[in-house]
Structure 1
């Protein structure tokens, strides 16, 4: 299994948009690769419809999205009609992001996406609800793994992208339940003499029983 910070593995795949080389398809964008257990299933339909509605938000952040399941491209194409309907899209509109075919589980096994508790009619494991975020340098940045019975929260996925992109550019970390615009935490590696230059907007130290001054807040940097 690959680890956060490593180069994300490349692969070729057949998709609803034709054959792709994943790294070439990604280009200089960030990417979200998310898998789902099966086509024509209720939770998956709600998830992929939600992604349709959030596409402008992903595009604002220079993020491409791509789905994956164990079903065929032909099945995906038919299922896309239901997804568009549920999302309130015109049935004649082109489905705007690709879905990967992975009938032999080659990609799912390679990326650790399978759920051994969920089997198809042939007894083969289905893909779990995995979410992988890859940055524009093809580096693996975040992983979320949900069981088949639990739909994902794509607002949370947008939130973590905001955090990743912000903290790549500013010397801050984002605290619990943070949203874009909220106060951030100053990194422990920033020394007191560096603060005036790095944080001209100022820093607030939260008093703690330990007397240590490690909990330092600053307003959300504009990057």
Structure 2
């Protein structure tokens, strides 16, 4: 839907409510001229907040869509996720884990896909890795991670022929300020659900003993030789600042 069509929709909805432009503007805190611009398709002159406010008063909502001149946006997002999955898998392999990506499952009516299953068959250890480029819903992310940890032993037994005795979990996020702020904002929940960080995470990866529930920040960087190398860091507990995860 282009800007002009949005304007026509607003006008039709306003007429349906039997409102004048002035009345609609007063209801959502903008001028009559702003409503006129909106109905004329001149959305570039308005803030997204103002457009949403006007539509809300008309019992409607605004859904934004991005068009990228170089291709499909969804493919761009998939590429970013795939890159973070690849970085994480390489680090785990470097610590001696067998890594299986994208394990789809349908167990007892529960469906989904495990981003990475890291395995150490000799020790009977399974690590469930959930990779997120954006942490949108804390509750949904933790609920789905719980599901994968619960079903993981059955999936490994059925597909690889051995039963894990220990199952760890880790949530991987991109190493960027937005993700860190999101984690800090919801620390009360995340510190309880995924308390392990920094040294304890890397120590567990090297020698998996006892439970693991961790948050791990990872980022790919380009070295001077233009080959991709991996730099990872995790949220640090007090006293661990400056320590690297890998």
Q: TM-score range by the shorter chain?
A: under 0.3
TM-score normalised by the chain length of structure 1: 0.24
Higher CA-based Rg: 2
Between Structure 1 and Structure 2, the one with more helix by share is 2
Which structure has more relative contact order (CA 8 Å, sep 6+)? It is 1
